[in-house]
Every structure is written in C-alpha cells, then in structure tokens.
Structure 1
C-alpha cells in the first residue's frame, strides 16, 4: 500500500540537512575573522544560539549599508537556508556564486531540491496535476546530477537519498527498490526518513518481509511516528503475520485518545490518528475473515462521521467481502460523491460493477483510473483483474472413479464399475460488454459389465450477462454410437438482490442423462429450476428441482436442498457445518437403468478449509469434507452412507486455479453396499 507520509516528506528537508551537515564542512567558521565588523561577530554569536531571525536582521542591515560585503551576503543566504527558505537562498547563491565555497554550494543545491520534494508531497487540489510538483523536483534533481563531475556525482550521497523520496511519491516503486539496493551495495546507510519511503516501496513491490525490516529500523529511530507504524502493520499482514499486525494496530489505538485534552483546556480536539487507527484495525479484522466484527466497527464510526469518504469506501469493501455487492456499490458511490478524487472508492466501485455484470459503467471508471494513476499498485492490480475478467475464460478437466460392490463382481451403480470424464470448455473475451461465444468438447464414459459406454460431445454456445439477468444457449453434437440426437438448451439466471438469486433451464437430449440409459439408446429431455439464499459469507441455503422425460416414457423428478453455516473463523482456517437432502421418484419400475421408484437421503457433516500457504493472489488451500447420512430406497430400506473428500486448490495468480482431489464413499444401490473411490483434476483460467 502507499499511504500519505507528510511528516516523512517534511523530514526530507530537515533530515536531509542534518545528514548533510554531518558529512560536509560547516558553512560557518567556528570564529569570525578579525577583520569582520563587530555586528557580524554578533550575528555569528546569534547563529550559534540558533537565533536565525535576529542574525538575519543584522545581515540585512549590513547589506543595506554595504551591498558589496561578501561575508554578509554569503551568511544571509545560509541563514535563509537555515530558516527553510531554500529557494530564496539558492537564488542568492546563483546571483553571486563566487562568494560561496564548494561545500556551501552543494548544501544550497541540496536544500533547494529537498524543499521542492516537500512541495511535491503535499496534497494537490487537482488530481490531474497532483504529481506536477514532484515531477518538477525530479527534473531539477536530474539537471543537478548532470551538472556534476563523475567524481562529484559518486560522492553525492544526499541527492541519492532524496531521490528515494521523489521516486516513491511518483509511485516508481521498482526504481526505489533498485536505488535502495544500490545504496546498500555501496555500504551507505539510509537515514530513517528515507528508509520509511523505502519500506513503503518494498511493500508496494511485494517484499513484505524486507519492508517490515526497513520500517522497524526507521521506527526505532523515529519512535511514535504514526504513518510508519501503520505501514508496518500492513507489512506484517502481507507477510501473513495476522496476530502481529493486529497487535501493532491495537497499540496504535491505545496510544491515541479519540479526543485528547491539553492540561487546563475546557474541551478536547479531534484526533485523526485515532480515527485512522480504528478504521485500519477494522479492515485488518476483515482481512482475517472476521467480517461481522469489521462491519460493526466501521458502522459505529460511520454513525459519527458519515461524511468521511475513506470510511464509506472501506465499509463498502467489507460489504463486498460479505457478498453484498449492490450495497458495496452504494457505499463506494457515496464515497465518490464526498471525494471525487478517492482512488480507493473508484477502485471499489469498479470491482462492484464488474461483479454486478455492469461492464459498461465499470469501463468508464477503469479507464479514468488507468489514465490518472498508471503507477499506482492498486490500480495496476485492478487492471490485471480487469483483463482476467473480460478476457478468455475456461476450464479443462479430467476425472476417474471406481465402484466395487461388496461380495459381488457386478455393481448396481449408475456409474458402472469404472467411469471417467475429460473435456475442455472455453469462453471468448467479452464482446460489446455483454456477450461471449463458447465452445466445448468432452467425453464421459463408464464400464457396464465389460462394455464401455461413451458420451462424446462437441458444441458451441452464446452467453449474455448484464446487471440482474444472465442467459446461455448451447448446442452440442454427439459423436458416439449410442445416440444421434443433437442436444440444445437454454439457461437463465436472475439476481433479485444481494442475497437471493434464481435460475431455470431446459435441455433437449440432455448430455447429463444417465449413461446406463444411453447404453440402451434412451435419451432424455429435462427442465430445472433453482433458488439460492446467501444472507452473508456466514451461510447459504439453496433448493433445486429437476424433471426428466426419458425417451422410454419414464418421468423422473428430483428435489434437493443444501446448506452450510460457518462454525469457526480464523485468518487461515474456516470450518463450516454442511448438509444436504434430496428426494426423487420415477414413473417406471422396469427401466433398464438405475431408477428407484422412490428414494430419499439426508447428509450432514463438516467442511474444513485451511490456507496452508498464501502470497498475495497465490495460495494453496486444502479442504477436507466429512459427511454421513441416511439413504432410503423403496423396497430396500435404509442404510447409513459415509462420504469423505480431500482437495487442494492452487491459485497460481489472478485468473489461474489448479484444483484436484480424491473422494471416498460407501453408497448403497438396490440394497447393495458398494465402495467408491474417485479422483479428479481441473484447471480454470479467467475470472
């Protein structure tokens, strides 16, 4: 992240001067020459006491009477530099450079550059010109270094240090890191004010461990510096040290009273450091999956400060993490109204609009951000996500399983003794912000009493998605000896709001029909409907119904419900209670495929989701699911059915996921207990 560090920018002027005077000869002689007038001796004494204004007044009076006095002219310029008037001091030096020593010239040049850097770090009124001052400072620095001889340039340590501040403000973080490593290689110590900027750039370039080390060193020399502590907390967070990050922010909260009061004062005053500590602590709890706690904290702050754009934007971010995308967009728009320049709010609004399939509106914000903040790390990440979301998408998969009947060589499983599937599905980049073309090819197979039955399909389709509505049409051509009927179907989805969505679809010659039925040349048409309620990330409840019309006259109906509820939440661990139930029935008892006249099942269990390793967008998750339940089939009674699965999910970057796992179960078909083991792997790209 890149937080404003105005105190550190000011330190660039004062801290750089301290560094300069410790490495160069003093610009003022320890004692004035005997030829100096008495008034200049008095000015020198005042300077020794750091009474700069009194000394300056003497130099001004002296020059008014003796304009050619070189000593008074020189000392006036140096005293102005001591007072912070670096530009005026530099102008005086440029008017009469011959009266200054080489060390004094170097100091005045450096002070001028440092002051320009300070101006460049201040908040600009216009977003379009926010970096103009710092770009000017960068140009002046380049001109200054170009004016030096190679020997002088090699010894110009202070400009190299001040360049770190320039480059950091201009968001040239890679260059900051390269310059820092060069300083380290040359054995030069980076002072605390510049080391804080280095830590910020190390964090922006995703070196959180190095950033933490740099920031810890800077903080040791500048104890209590708020912005450094805040950056340090995020360095701990991004290196997956959640407890340490929260402890740092807890210390910041305790160290800053909301309304500090000076001794004897009738009332306190607002402490924005406490506000920043509270809001960042809330976000830290959100990043640790404690979203309800974060929401409560931010809403309490919003009730006090509803007109704070940053607060509204962060509350929108938490709503988005909880799955409430429309509410998140509302908050981001509030933040943009309060502060049209807010980068955080515009990024959040863009992501929300993408999630709501309102790409045209998102594109306007995305393009503006990329034009105005091309070097911003958060904007760059948004752009990578944008490309993944709107570009090519798809998945490739392969799976295989084995079903063994206990005490028998044959199986009643509708999946056969052996089964498998492989295929690829691809979506084109988005067209006109709403449309995609699709193509797919797959081969599903199963072995029944020594005969391998295939369901090979190739086909194309069309997707449409905008706002609440999504549509899909597909046409698939079979390429096997069992069925020759082209499959085609449509699906539709509708989002009622942040928590409720519905879907419906119909298919002629449904490719998902039973392979056992396919073996007998029997296909099926189908239609289905579903409803899902997701109140938050803490739980979900869904229901689905599917109706099959088989070619042999059999009508099969299936109704299922499923749900989950969060049980344990930790930064790297989520534990959910899960359950599902279904009931089905068929109209024929003599179908040549598994077709219970009636059956039903109920299962309950737990899902453990653990982040074993994470580095920004990349991670390794492992998931373990354990369930058990009762299955009942008419004519055969009921039996307990256990299931277990273990999976790995490798996220290789934005838009690239490799997922694989193994599953084991002991189902019962027609009263016969079986054991099933299955493996599958899938690679997905695009978002």
Structure 2
C-alpha cells in the first residue's frame, strides 16, 4: 500500500478519489488513525470546495473535497472523538439535503452517541430520496435493534440479505441479528479474599447464573437460574441458595422482568419474587423501578440471623451523550425485625479524556442511608452519608474487528460520615480486564480493594468481581 500510494513518504499527488478511499479505509481497518488522518488532511488541503468549468463562470461542487470531509467525520467517529464526528457529519448533511449518503452517515454518528431516536428521525428524512437504498436499510435495521423493534429489524435484515448477501455491511448486520436470536448465559458474582467488613463476612462468595431462552414471539424470553451466597461470621457461617425462574419482555421504550425464586436459608424454604422494569421517554430520560419479596437488599448476615425483608426501588436516569450521564435512585427495605431502611444515591459519569485507545471518566458518587432500628445483629447505622468521587481509565490493549481486550484502572478517595461516629476517609482501588469475542462472549474480572469506616473503625475489603455473557 505504501509503494502504491506514497511517494517519498508523502501521499502521491495524482491519486484518484477511489485510490484515496482505498488508502483511507486500509488505515482505518488496521486502526492506524494517524495515517487515516494524514490522508484526510491531504484530501481536504488539496481539494477546493468548488471546481470552475472551463470557459464558463459556473462552479460545481468538488466531490473530492466532500470525500475529504466525510473522511474527517469517519476518522473522528472511530477514534472516539464523537463530538467532532457529529459536528462534521451534521454540517455536511444539512448543507447537502439531497445527498442521502451524508444523511445516513450523520444518523450513524447519532446512533454511536447513544441517540437512536434522533438517528431514526434522520433516516426517515433520508428515506424520501431512495427508500430501498441498501446502506439506508442497514442503518435502519441497526437503529431498530437498539430501539428493541425486533420485527422491523428482522424484516429489514431479510430484505438486504436477499438483495446484497455479500455486502460487508449486510454481513455484519446479519451476524448481529443471528446473535440476537441465540440463547444467553449470564454469570456474575464476587468472592472475598481478605475482608474485615461486617456486611458479607470473611471469605464470602456471591454467585448468580441465569440462562435466557432465545426470543419467543419477538418480545418474550424465559429464564431460569441459580444463586448462591455464603460468608463466615462470628456467629457461624451464613448460606443462602436461590432457585429462580421468570419471563422477560422487551419492546420499544419498555423492559419488564418478572421472577419467582425459591430461597433456601437456615434450613428453610421460602418463596421470593421480583418485578423489575424501566421506561424510556426519549434518548435522554429513563425511569425504572423494582419490587422484591425476600429482597436481595437484605444483608447475608441478617438472613443468617433469621431476618428477611421486602424492598421497593425507583430511579431516574439522565443521559446526555457518551460523555455525561447521571442517575438518582431511592430504595426502601422493610425488614422482618421492624427495621425500615431508606437509601438514596446519586451516581454520574463525566468523560475527561478520550483517544482511540484510552478513555478516562470521572465518577462522582453520593450515598445516604438511614435506619429506624439500631440494636440489630447486622450492620445497621442510624444515619450514614458517603461522598466518594473516583476516576476510571479504560485502556484498549488489542482489537481485531469484533474481538477486543482491554484493561481497566479505577481509584477513588472520599469521606463517610456516620451518626455518633463522625467522619473518616474512604479509599478505593481497582484493576480489571475484559475480553469480547466474536459477538458471543463478553467476560471480565476486577480485583478491588476498599478501606472504609464501620462504627468508627476503618476496615478493609479485598475481593474479586467477575461477570460473563455467552450467547449460544
């Protein structure tokens, strides 16, 4: 490629538009973003916006100049500079309203920023020009998948596969739809390595395994699973086992899940239940709620001592774009020992750095808790308030098409106040790795260390969190 398109380490001046595109996308595919940007700047700098026809005062748009600015939007999108990609793509699309390709590119950037409804609106405008354009239908199908419009996605995918089965965009879309129609295994949990905290005990284990069926009648999935938790306390070992089954509903703007669980602890079998759901008003606002009988919000130590509880939770999430989001949640737990617990939390994300291989986020966090009963066998502060801001850095180690490997660093320092015990420091550190493979495996593990006060004494907790999603 270098010998064909470069002359003395600079881009050959006589390349055609097709050759410039081949060179640009070869750099992009190999994730050589500086090379792709060099091609982009060369194309823009050597191409005026308009060409004058010989012998006339008439000027016509220069396709090479347009191609260069399309390159600029594309390289910004793939190098994690989505604000720049959006600004460039929007300017191109609105200055050339009759160009369907530019409108589709703009919708693709909106989708990448987490605004599928805005992307859908732009694609509706593009549809007027050529309704059955392959690239248009492919992008519409991706948007439909994000919006949980399963039937629409299937119809569009079937149409483009029938017409252009070898098109790379069509092949990628078909793969995504095929994966969506698979069964799904989810495994998540944590295990304590060295713990002093009173909540979960020493050498604690918490594991949940759930299998979801393939989609049934587009919107439904059934699921079944098993949960296990144990921990060693001064009064003995606490163990809880859960056998669970339920159904899930997914449609546009709505997600619902209903679960029945058989909870086994202290040699007793008790029925539990959960109803969870959320609703999206638009691309920015979501509300959600959860009701639970024999709630998992009740600490393991409480259940070891025969205390159970029911809970209700509600939350509001505001999403601006991939660089900023905040959520506020409230939870109420009614314990069987007459204790009532109220919890309020605020969590956010502010992106402070992004590059092709490194993303750094600032994560502000506030948490407030109060309880009505005080003399209980489990940790139960009268009132407590935490402020723990943190930073998280995600570093991409390797990527090849749909396969990737990344490492994640996190650190936080804050303060925790507890009534009658004052304020002390909270420190957190974490390091993890995550692998995604062939669209069907997404797995990660994180080693976390935390030191925080409990009843005036700073105690530490070292543990490993892990999760895996496998489609089969």
**Which residue of structure 2 lines up, in the alignment, with residue 283 of structure 1?**
74
1:251 aligns with 2:42: yes
How many Å separate the matches in 1 of 2:454 and 2:194?
11
**Which residue of structure 2 lines up, in the alignment, with residue 433 of structure 1?**
218
> Which structure has more strand as a fraction of its residues?
2
1:661 aligns with 2:446: yes
Cα deviation for residue 619 of structure 1 reads 0.8
Counterpart selection for 1:376 from 160, 164, 167: 167
How many Å separate the matches in 2 of 1:434 and 1:651?
26
Q: Give me the CA root mean square deviation.
A: 2.0
Gaps in structure 2 of 5+ consecutive residues: none
Does the C-alpha gap of structure 1 residues 375 and 225 become closer, same or farther in structure 2, counting only changes over 3 Å? same
Cα deviation for residue 233 of structure 1 reads 1.0
8 Å CA contact 1:632–1:639 kept in 2: the answer is yes
**Which residue of structure 1 lines up, in the alignment, with residue 335 of structure 2?**
550
Cα deviation for residue 264 of structure 1 reads 5.4
Per the normalisation by structure 1, the TM-score is 0.66
**Which residue of structure 1 lines up, in the alignment, with residue 288 of structure 2?**
503
**Which residue of structure 2 lines up, in the alignment, with residue 228 of structure 1?**
19
8 Å CA contact 1:414–1:594 kept in 2: the answer is yes
Cα deviation for residue 216 of structure 1 reads 4.0
Pairwise mapping of residues 91-102 of structure 1 onto structure 2 (< 5 A)? none
Does the C-alpha gap of structure 1 residues 259 and 661 become closer, same or farther in structure 2, counting only changes over 3 Å? same
**Which residue of structure 2 lines up, in the alignment, with residue 568 of structure 1?**
353
Q: How big is each residue's C-alpha offset from its partner over 1:358-407, in whole Å with a ceiling of 9 and x where there is no partner?
A: 11111110110111111112111111111112321231234211444xxx
Which has the higher Rg, Structure 1 or Structure 2?
Answer: 1
Q: How big is each residue's C-alpha offset from its partner over 1:332-372, in whole Å with a ceiling of 9 and x where there is no partner?
A: 22223212232222111111111111111111101101111
Q: Provide the aligned length of Structure 1 versus Structure 2.
A: 470
Gaps in structure 1 of 5+ consecutive residues: 1-211, 405-410
8 Å CA contact 1:482–1:519 kept in 2: the answer is no
8 Å CA contact 1:545–1:559 kept in 2: the answer is yes
Per the normalisation by structure 2, the TM-score is 0.95
How many Å separate the matches in 2 of 1:334 and 1:642?
51
8 Å CA contact 2:265–2:304 kept in 1: the answer is no
> Which structure has more helix as a fraction of its residues?
1
How many Å separate the matches in 1 of 2:154 and 2:18?
33
8 Å CA contact 1:215–1:231 kept in 2: the answer is no
- Using CA pairs below 8 Å that are at least 6 residues apart, which structure has the higher relative contact order? 2
Cα deviation for residue 450 of structure 1 reads 6.7
1:347 aligns with 2:144: no
Pairwise mapping of residues 457-472 of structure 1 onto structure 2 (< 5 A)? 457-472=242-257
Q: In structure 1, the residue corresponding to 2:61 is in which secondary structure?
A: coil
Does the C-alpha gap of structure 1 residues 633 and 221 become closer, same or farther in structure 2, counting only changes over 3 Å? closer
8 Å CA contact 2:297–2:333 kept in 1: the answer is no
Does the C-alpha gap of structure 1 residues 648 and 443 become closer, same or farther in structure 2, counting only changes over 3 Å? same
1:272 aligns with 2:63: yes
How many Å separate the matches in 1 of 2:256 and 2:108?
28
Q: In structure 2, the residue corresponding to 1:666 is in which secondary structure?
A: strand
Cα deviation for residue 214 of structure 1 reads 8.4
8 Å CA contact 2:417–2:424 kept in 1: the answer is yes
Does the C-alpha gap of structure 1 residues 549 and 483 become closer, same or farther in structure 2, counting only changes over 3 Å? farther
**Which residue of structure 1 lines up, in the alignment, with residue 324 of structure 2?**
539
Cα deviation for residue 631 of structure 1 reads 0.3
How many Å separate the matches in 1 of 2:107 and 2:92?
13
